Amino acid sequence: MSESSSRLFRVRIRGPLACFTRPEMKVERVSYEVMTPSAARGVLEAILWKPAIVWRIHEIVVLSPIQWTSFRRNEINERQSIGKKDYCADTDRAQRNTVALRDVDYVVTASFQMTSKATDADNVRKFEEMFERRLAKGQTHHQPYLGCREFAADVSIAEPALCPPPALAAVDRPLGMLLYDLDYSDAGNRPLFFAARLQHGVLRVPSREELSQRMGVAP
């Protein structure tokens, strides 16, 4: 571990419903089979977000069988834009089908790195203690969620003995291209994908540097 990187944290994230929407599905919401790294990062940022740190997801352990459910929801077609005063959500609704995951349970292993926005008063140990305290007390900046804001996440410290059930521990198969995160360095917020594989119930996540090397672009 370098002076700019924290130790590894293991965080348990679970909930009755989750939808990590596949971006290629434009009309209906269809979830990926497992939690995406960007969704995991969002949960951790709900507990602790500071300009001085950036979260890095190392692996996601799947603790419960992958189960699906589908239902219809009322959604609005457009977001209200700034300065548009005559917008009425009641006249802009549409029913859309959602294919979601149910009874999800994950253990996320993650660490954070200090960014260029860190000041002399910032250090790794300070933020490690802050995250540990907030996680233990259940303190968050906002409600953590599982892909969609209405699907609340229950977040806690992961016990060391937690591991995938036998049915998942025997699985070794590709998951296809999975959303990694958004690249905010470009004006268009370019989405990044990686070839995901579930090995014995564990999704291993490449670093941004590894992903950039595979794609042949600068990190």
pTM: 0.87
The per-residue pLDDT for range 128-163, each reduced to its tens digit, is 999 999 999 999 999 999 999 999 999 999 999 999
Q: Strand (E) positions, 47-157?
A: 53-62, 68-76, 93-114, 145-146, 148-152, 154-157
Backbone φ/ψ region at 111: left (φ over 0), alpha (ψ -120 to 50), beta: beta
Q: What percent of the chain has pLDDT over 90?
A: 72
Does some domain include residue 20? yes
* Number of domains forming the structure of the chain: 1
Does some domain include residue 1? no
Q: How far is CA 201 from CA 32, 116, 118, 160, in A?
A: 15, 35, 36, 16
| SS3 assignment, position 199 | strand
Does some domain include residue 48? yes
Does some domain include residue 2? no
| CATH of residue 81 | 3.30.70.2660
Does some domain include residue 199? yes
Does some domain include residue 4? no
Q: Which domain holds residue 211?
A: 9-215
Burial class (CB in 10 A: 0-12, 13-18, 19+), 1: exposed
